[in-house]
Structure 1
Amino acid sequence: MERRYWLLRLVAAFAFAQAAVSMARPAVSYRALALGADERAIGVTAGVYALLPLFAAVPLGRRTDRGRCTPLLAVGVVLVAGGCALSGTAGSPAGMAAWSGVMGLGHLCFVIGAQSLVARRSAPAEQDRNFGHFTIGASLGQLVGPVAAGFLIGDDMGRGSTLALVVSAAVATLSFTTLWRVEQRDANRTRRTRRTRRAHARVRRDKGRADSPPKVPVHRILRARGVPAGIFISLAVLSATDILTAYLPVVGEHRSIAPATVGLLLSLRAAATIACRLVMTPMIRLLGRTALLTVTCLLGALLCAGIALPVPVWALAVMLAALGFCLGVGQPLSMTTVVRAAPDGARSTALALRLTGNRLGQVAAPASAGLIAGLAGTAAPFVMLGALLLTAAALGTRVGRGPDEPARERPETGTGAKPATPVPRGARGRVS
């Protein structure tokens, strides 16, 4: 059962964690509005969510390259739950921003550990499929979270948002119910006693860790073909999702759309993303990875710009559903691109660099959106997102494979001439 259902249990845990965050993000915006925050303050609060992770991603990736992933998953759940609960007790926008940063750090810990686990336990031909299934967990959370938040908030933004944040903390703790034995342990390591492991550790320290592989420099990872483009595409797609979550409540307030309706709209987008990821494998076979990334980013850019128009709610729902389908492609394919392009022994670090780019976008994009909204209106940030996705579409032409280059023929280690190594040195015995 451990070998067969590990991905299903990981997806379930990710769904709980993401549902908590997806409940908390709009609740934070509504609570900040109830405390007197304006559009610029909302942008700052949304940016702080990504500020701590911006500096922690690479060290956490280095640590995961050398060790296990499960401890990082547990730490992430604790930080997410704590950040959600304490955001509900904060009495000022500044306090809410601080605890939102803790929540963002917890989400980063969970995602780095989970993505590294998928990379280790997936054969090369399974990576597109497994990363697509893994991100379904995020989409499920994004589907349930906003609806629950809208229902709990109701007409009283102050008390309702506090209740939503407390409930989101409880939802985050449910991740522990499916994390048991999600990581395959090395049989030799599990048979050692604690005393023997400490003795080996002392010997390694005395030898200067001569048996440990050297760290791959960050600049070498970033120079690998496909890594920068994959990072930027992921940044653009996540920024679009993040600003939709943070700013659609603000748009709803200005257009007299009820919080429950806003929650349904956000969940509709997430449902379309799930639908996209369920059919991603046949779409890759039909169009190829390059065309699929390019077309979906281009359509996403047009749809984001369309949200800025004063359209009725039903038209907004149609655009958000189409946008959710288009945004569902970028994240899993950018994961696969970065993992395949990364040098040996640096997969987790490369994924952490991708997440660093994501968090940089989550810091810069909401702050820029807040400034633009303050100057040009609440719909203007969606035009900015359109420009960002348009740039991602241009970069998408340089990422992926065409229909004549199937995944199973691609070397696992990237585009270079090196032969593929089935298992990285730090993860032997962990591939099912």
Structure 2
Amino acid sequence: MPQVRRQGAWLWLLVAAALLSQTALNLVRPVTTYKLLELEASAFTVGLVAAAYAVLPLVSAMWLGRLASRAGGLGRTVAIGAAVLGIGAAGLALAPNAALVGAASAVLGMGHLVFTIAGQSAVARYAPDDQLDKGFGWFTAAYSAGQMAGPLAGGLMLGAGSGGGSPEWSSSITMALWVGAAMSLAALPLMLLPSRLTAGAQRGAGGEASGSERAAAGEAAGEPPLAETSTGRATLARILRVPGVGSHMAASLALLAMLDILIAFLPLVAEGAGVPPAVVGALLAVRGGASILSRAFLPWLSRRLGRRALLLASLYGAAAALVAPPLTLGQPLLAGAFLFVGGLFLGLGQPITMTLVATAVPAPWRGPALAVRLMGNRAGQVAMPLAAGVAASGLGPAAAIWLCCGALALSGAEKAFRR
């Protein structure tokens, strides 16, 4: 048992670092919308800045995935991601106009990508196959905890009023962004401890070798790596040709786009309805808390219901529940109830798509395959906010959220009719 505890330490260090960095990220991103409102930006500009968050990750995800798959120790890579997140948040605090807010948002997105690829690759590399749901579940649960704590903290810092361009309001926005930067940098010591991420992680908690270790063991015994014998190098085209991978990526894209649109556009809807930032932060926190709950039960649900059924429930359930919050913001308890239900369903989808992609490809391809999944996510995070900004410009900010509900439902239909 002491050995099991020591071997599991890498996961809990990773989860703690993820909690800090994602709390910072989800504090900063809703506050960014209020900063843009302070700069008198339009709804389309809000969508443009939200899209800028994913531009750098879109063009670098595959390269970073290959880098993570070759890295000996992933702790330093996770730390670099946290540092870049902190730099992006500091840039947002200092940005004097919408163009520089967009540039800082791009840096923020790059830090999030580096952190996420390194963290996902660590789970895929060090956890045995029968523990992947647990590893990805806890890792994404830390993300959900950050999605709960970050908006709540940001809303409390901004308070109950809209500020109306007062110096105090501007100072509150800047202070919140600096707090986010400091919180992200606080994750660095966890990843730079002497017993960093790879310590005690060469085997999973059950003592079974992970897929990557089994491949390495075969190579040491004189067998060439799987990637060279049966499928070759893990390229983008080859990964996408693996049955099911494209469908899993589409589901992941729709789920993540909904999170981004809620973070960017719910404050806009609330501003028009006269709902203060503190209430918006609490509502976004309810969504994050619900996702923590569903992810905590993910291994149990997965064993009993199956991954496909859970993913379908995630897509359809989130699409149905999240149509309502823009219509009910004037009644915060009712809006919170819909966001709670939507958060339960949203929380299931992301870790399931990670597991489905990781298990669909050969073990040596897992790092690049998860990076391809993230690249698809980032493509959605560029395209969907731009489309949402156009919809919001013509039909109001609520249309941005409804557009994502439609994307979730379409992804669910594709999954349901796929053989």
TM (normalized to structure 1)? 0.84
Gaps of 5+ in 2: 164-168, 203-224
Tell me the distance in 2 between the aligned counterparts of 1:153 and 1:307. Answer: 21
Q: Percent identity?
A: 36
Deviations along 1:212-253, one digit per CA (max 9) or x if unpaired, are 966322211101112111111111111111111111111110
Structural mapping, 1:264-275, within 5 Å: 264-275=282-293
1:220–1:168 Cα change, 3 Å: same
1:378 paired to 2:397: yes
- Contact 1:139–1:274 (CA under 8 A) maintained in structure 2: yes
Report the equivalent of 2:322.
Answer: 304
- One-letter identity of the residue aligned with 1:238: L
- Confirm or deny: 8 A CA contact 1:88 1:166 kept in the other structure: yes
Q: Which deviates further from its counterpart, 279-288 or 135-144?
A: 279-288
Could you tell me which residue of structure 2 aligns to residue 342 of structure 1?
361
1:51 aligns with 2:63: no
- In 2: Cα distance, 1:306 partner to 1:48 partner: 28
Give the equivalent residue in structure 2 for 1:146.
151
In the alignment, what sits opposite 1:206? Answer: none
Q: How far apart are 1:2 and its partner, in Å?
A: 4.1
Residue 177 of structure 1 is matched in structure 2 by 189
Q: CA deviation at 1:296?
A: 2.2
Query: Which residue identity lines up with residue 109 of structure 1 in the other structure?
Result: V
- Secondary structure in 1 aligned to 2:197? coil
Q: What's the offset of the Cα at 1:4?
A: 2.4
Residues 1:326 and 2:345 are matched in the alignment: yes
Structure-1 separation of matches of 2:57 and 2:234: 21
Please show how residues 35-46 of structure 1 align to structure 2 within 5 Å: 35-46=39-50
Deviation at 1:285, TM superposition (A): 2.6
Equivalent residue number for residue 378 of structure 2: 359
Show the counterpart of 2:333: 314
1:9 matched to which residue of 2?
Answer: 13
Q: Equivalent residue for 2:217?
A: none
Within a 5 Å distance, the mapping from 1:273-312 to structure 2 comes to: 273-310=291-328, 312=331
Equivalent residues of 1:300, 1:386 under 8 A apart: yes
The answer on 1:133 being equivalent to 2:138 is yes
Q: 2: distance between equivalents of 1:111 and 1:182? A: 17
Please tell me whether residue 223 in structure 1 is matched to residue 237 in structure 2. no
SS of the equivalent of 2:392 reads: helix
CA deviation after TM superposition for structure 1 residue 343, in Å:
2.8
User: Separation in 1 of the partners of 2:201 and 2:315?
Assistant: 44
2:210 is aligned to none
- The amino acid of 2:393's aligned partner reads G
Residue number in structure 1 paired with 2:206: none
How far is 1:279 from its partner?
A: 1.1
2:351 counterpart SS class:
helix
Cα deviation, residue 51, structure 1 = 0.6
The one-letter code sitting in structure 2 at the alignment partner of 1:53 is: P
Q: Deviations over 1:22-48 (max 9, x none)?
A: 011011110011011011111101110
Residue 152 of structure 1, CA deviation = 1.3
Query: Which ranges of structure 1 fall in alignment gaps of 5 or more residues?
Result: 189-209, 401-432
Q: CA deviation at 1:377?
A: 0.9
Partner Cα separation in structure 2 for residue 296 and residue 141 of structure 1: 20
Judged with a 3 Å threshold, the aligned counterparts in structure 2 of structure 1 residues 106 and 370 are, in CA distance, closer, same or farther, namely same
Q: Does the Cα contact within 8 Å between 2:257 and 2:377 map onto a contact in 1?
A: yes
Q: Which residue of 2 aligns with 1:87?
A: 92
Contact 2:10 2:199 in 1 (8 A): no
After superposition, give the CA deviation of every residue in 1:54-106 in whole Å (9 maximum; x if it has no partner).
00100001111222322321211111000101111110010011011001001
Native 8 Å contact 2:83 2:188 kept in 1: no
> Which residue of 2 is the match for residue 427 of structure 1?
none
TM-score relative to the length of structure 2: 0.86
CA contact (8 A) 2:287 2:339 kept: yes
Change (3 A) 1:177 1:343: same
Contact 2:65 2:117 (C-alpha < 8 Å) held by counterparts: yes
Write the deviation string for residues 256-306 of structure 1: whole angstroms up to 9, x where unpaired.
111000000000000000000111122223322111111221111111222
Letter of the 2:376 partner, please give it: G
Q: CA 1:187 to 1:27, structure 2 compared with 1: closer, same or farther past 3 Å?
A: closer
Q: Which amino acid aligns with 1:75?
A: I
